[in-house]
Structure 1
């Protein structure tokens, strides 16, 4: 059996220079928003060492939790959606909207759901404690209930640019409630330390990871102050990260977060496996022509699963235009089901390990994120860094870098800046009537959607 000859780096260089003609070899090197270089060739000559960051998995079963998003205020409609999701492939649900804070409505929405089998997660912002109390009422102190309270007041604080009352008191109250729920529900996840709010505001990968880590540190410290042991404060924490259409970067981001959390938990004296929830990016979605979003969401789901996320949450492809219908929700479920059950992406632990490029990228992102994390902590932590206007200008610079790439054509959005469909087929959505809460204590991390500027200019 004949084999192709393996070219040396020098032979590759000569071939590349010839193919580039008048362009310099350096034109193949690209910088990202963290000013990290992506080189054209990776191998033993520029290797940084292997990285192995697997999630704890069962290759014969479901390697990750397929979580469906359910949004709205009508409890009966949400109940139909939740049961449909769980009966058709979803393993858990993420409930968002006004229904979360009303115990009677949440009970109706979760009617028929076995909380001991199907985890229920919440997304309630500043109403996290109130929503948690409603979920507690539904669970009726069942010790086997798999609840994800997902308390995340830091993200709500950053997104709103302030809080309805003293934030220190809000965090203290959340930690106190979480400490009680930890005793009642030993399998519950308490806090969600997510970098999603930074990502949606235009942050670089390192900035997003650092935001998640600093939030995690704030939550662990708050739980310890509430009387929870350090080890028990670390274990029920979920780390949140965004995944988008840049699947190599996204899967490297997930891997980097697992490595970073190992270091942070060690610093607390107890090394704990990271529980990572990867949620699809909304800043990558298009609204005028939502159909290409299916490809973006597939890439995001691929990144989350291959990167080793424990939970993967994909938006419906029409989410940028409004709340999705049944068809769009089914597409969101089926995208993951195909990745899981037909593509078998979960049957290998950390399949990216051993790739010269992905190992190098993972390590570089982890190192850059650690530097950002140390900068935040040196300012007194995530809350002080937000209030002191340390984080906002850094994210603004990253957002400007990303937006310029689309403006000058070095990056494209299919269906928006390239291959624009003049006659887009309509989709069915319901208007999203939720309103963003805003305060003026400091500059808020407001979400951006990259396609919006181009869609508005083309109208």
Structure 2
């Protein structure tokens, strides 16, 4: 058997400084948006402890749930999109749109879908309870129906910056009790930090928001009548994954560590179920084709980070609702990662990397620290109502925007290597606008937008 020498930290340092052509290796040290130090070299001497954060699903089969996002206005078109996805590699779908609250339309859209085999999730915001009741009715009381109600009024309130949030959380908890009685294996809540990510927040802020939302939902559900074990089991944790794939996969692993501490504190250690959805703030509109690479990197991060569910958006999302071609690309990207790259064949491929284990622990600690701050402020609902979380996210967003503006960070195709004559891509329904950032709200942003606007003004 061939053996290879193990370089010492000093030998690694010498090689790194040689590549830097005289620059000190310390010049590569930098701080991230959470103020965490990122080193150019990691080794056992840095005190990194090995971590293990594998997903709980079976890596011998499909390691993760390949989920697609389906939107629309008409039942026939939605039905066609759902069946196309499920017949061509998707394992489940998440439905978004006004149709989700109407039982008749929803039933027509899901005609031909075996709900006992294909999980159906919802993304309905403040209309979550109405949508959940409609989906429950469509399932006709089948106890084996794979329903993901994803009640999440906290994220809806955070994005809107207004609304009857206390009543909405109570209503969601009462609905969860009712739905759990009929569908004991259903997932009830989505405790997601994605609203923070899309508003420009840091990884630590996103993790903290997800954890704080989970705590709020579990407490409300127990108060409404669920057992602690039922409430914990009913929570899905939502995180964003983007083209910064090392950080994104470490963030997924960190979410699993944080949840272990949260569920243990409730007295019932419960395996985390994590849904990773691709970032929208990273997408470009003027030149959509590089988004294919960004989304591939995001899918890689979700898979290698150990997400139980991965949802990749379409590469044309920044321009509007994607057409069939863009949806196919989103679906096939995951199929290639899963069935050709075999990314799910190892339970926790990041384990044992000094850098990734260190980064995972750092993000988990940053998220836990921010989570403790939110809890000390009265919990996530009170912290949002008193505008305590929003300014922290705004500061982080400002730092990231400034870094892009002054060249400290780059977006390929947007701030660097810009195609002067990009090829457009078709969309089903054009809707490129983003809501202006509102004070007191975690408004979604898209970092490429200011540069694209400036380009249009310079080249009308």
Range class of TM-score, shorter chain: over 0.9
Partner of 1:76: 76
Q: Mind listing any 5+ residue stretches in structure 2 that lack a counterpart?
A: none
Task: Compute the displacement of 1:438 (Å).
Answer: 11
TM-score by length of 1: 0.96
Out of 447, 451, 457, the position equivalent to 1:450 is 447
d(CA) in 2 for partners of 1:352 and 1:344?
15
Task: Compute the displacement of 1:14 (Å).
Answer: 3.7
C-alpha change, 1:118 and 1:434, in structure 2 (3 Å) is: farther
Q: Does 1:12 align with 2:12?
A: yes
Partner of 1:63: 63
The answer to which of 40-49 and 285-294 deviates more is 40-49
Q: Deviations over 1:324-352 (max 9, x none)?
A: 11110000000000000111111110010
Q: Deviations over 1:191-247 (max 9, x none)?
A: 000000000000000000000000000000010011101111100110000000000
C-alpha change, 1:45 and 1:436, in structure 2 (3 Å) is: closer
C-alpha change, 1:143 and 1:4, in structure 2 (3 Å) is: closer
Partner of 1:47: 47
Q: Mind listing any 5+ residue stretches in structure 1 that lack a counterpart?
A: none
Q: Deviations over 1:370-393 (max 9, x none)?
A: 000000000000011111111111
C-alpha change, 1:351 and 1:18, in structure 2 (3 Å) is: closer
Task: Compute the displacement of 1:60 (Å).
Answer: 2.0
Q: Deviations over 1:139-188 (max 9, x none)?
A: 1111111100110000000000011xx32111111110111110101121
The answer to whether the Cα contact below 8 Å between 1:160 and 1:439 also exists between their aligned partners in 2 is: no
Q: Deviations over 1:69-125 (max 9, x none)?
A: 001211110000000000000000000011111111111111110100000000000
C-alpha change, 1:437 and 1:20, in structure 2 (3 Å) is: closer
Partner of 2:209: 211
Task: Compute the displacement of 1:4 (Å).
Answer: 5.4
Out of 289, 313, 316, the position equivalent to 1:315 is 313
d(CA) in 2 for partners of 1:11 and 1:276?
39
Partner of 2:356: 358
1:250-265 → structure 2 map (5 Å cutoff): 250-265=248-263
d(CA) in 2 for partners of 1:6 and 1:158?
50
C-alpha change, 1:223 and 1:15, in structure 2 (3 Å) is: same
Partner of 2:336: 338
Q: Does 1:143 align with 2:150?
A: no
Give the secondary structure class of the aligned counterpart of 1:33: coil
Give the secondary structure class of the aligned counterpart of 2:185: coil
Task: Compute the displacement of 1:289 (Å).
Answer: 0.5
* RMSD, aligned α-carbons: 1.8
Give the secondary structure class of the aligned counterpart of 1:431: strand
Give the secondary structure class of the aligned counterpart of 1:375: helix
d(CA) in 1 for partners of 2:432 and 2:175?
26
d(CA) in 1 for partners of 2:171 and 2:246?
39
C-alpha change, 1:2 and 1:307, in structure 2 (3 Å) is: closer
Task: Compute the displacement of 1:297 (Å).
Answer: 0.3
Task: Compute the displacement of 1:20 (Å).
Answer: 2.9
d(CA) in 2 for partners of 1:456 and 1:229?
52
1:54-453 → structure 2 map (5 Å cutoff): 54-163=54-163, 166-431=164-429, 443-453=440-450
d(CA) in 1 for partners of 2:380 and 2:351?
32
d(CA) in 2 for partners of 1:157 and 1:436?
17
The answer to whether the Cα contact below 8 Å between 2:322 and 2:429 also exists between their aligned partners in 1 is: no
Give the secondary structure class of the aligned counterpart of 1:174: helix
The answer to whether the Cα contact below 8 Å between 2:146 and 2:185 also exists between their aligned partners in 1 is: yes
Q: Deviations over 1:16-55 (max 9, x none)?
A: 3444345332211121100111101111110321000011
Task: Compute the displacement of 1:434 (Å).
Answer: 11
TM-score by length of 2: 0.96
Give the secondary structure class of the aligned counterpart of 2:317: coil
